[in-house]
Copies of this chain bind each other. A is one copy, B any other.
Amino acid sequence: MTVKTFSIPLNTKGNADIAEITHDVAQVIGKSGIQDGIVTIFTPSSTSTLTTIEYEAGCLSDLRRLLDQIAPAGKDYAHHARWGDDNGHSHVRAALLKPFLTVPFVKGSMTLGTWQQIIFIDFDTRPRRRELVVQVMGE
């Protein structure tokens, strides 16, 4: 059993920009040389998240619309009063969805479904440079 930590750099456009990172995560697992275990993908940020979805334009647009309904941009947030920021909705969305995703893998392959891809969502209101933590643990 061993643990190895990698990172995946990403340039995002913000405003619920979605990046598909399934292949990047699969590559990291390959690089680790670990065959069976879990991969933890973590965003060291309070305005972004990770989840899985069928990576298809309709689903992505439906998810963005759902998040706009749950926590709309452009509304009055108490966080704005603090820093003059405009990203209160980004913070509450990220807190609700949490900053990580765990996926088991077996014989070097993640146990994802055929129509299930890993996505990173950046809720911040401007382009950001992100550095995801990808930790592989197993044997």
Residues on A close to B: CB < 8 A?
A: 1-3, 5, 36-38, 40, 42-46, 51-54, 56-59, 61-63, 65-66, 70-71, 77-82, 88, 91-92, 94-104, 106, 111-113, 115-116, 133, 135, 137-139
Contact = CB atoms under 8 A, between A and B. Distances in A.
A103 B96 CA distance: 16
Copies of this protein chain in the complex: 3
22 contacts: A1-B2, A2-B139, A3-B138, A3-B139, A5-B106, A5-B111, A38-B135, A38-B137, A45-B113, A46-B59, A51-B95, A56-B82, A58-B79, A58-B82, A59-B91, A59-B95, A62-B91, A66-B96, A98-B101, A100-B101, A102-B102, A104-B133
Nearest to A37: B3
Given A3-B36, A96-B66, A52 B58 contact: no
Nearest to A34: B3
A76 to B, nearest CB: 9
Contact of A58 (B37, B38, B88, B112): B88
A1 to B, nearest CB: 4
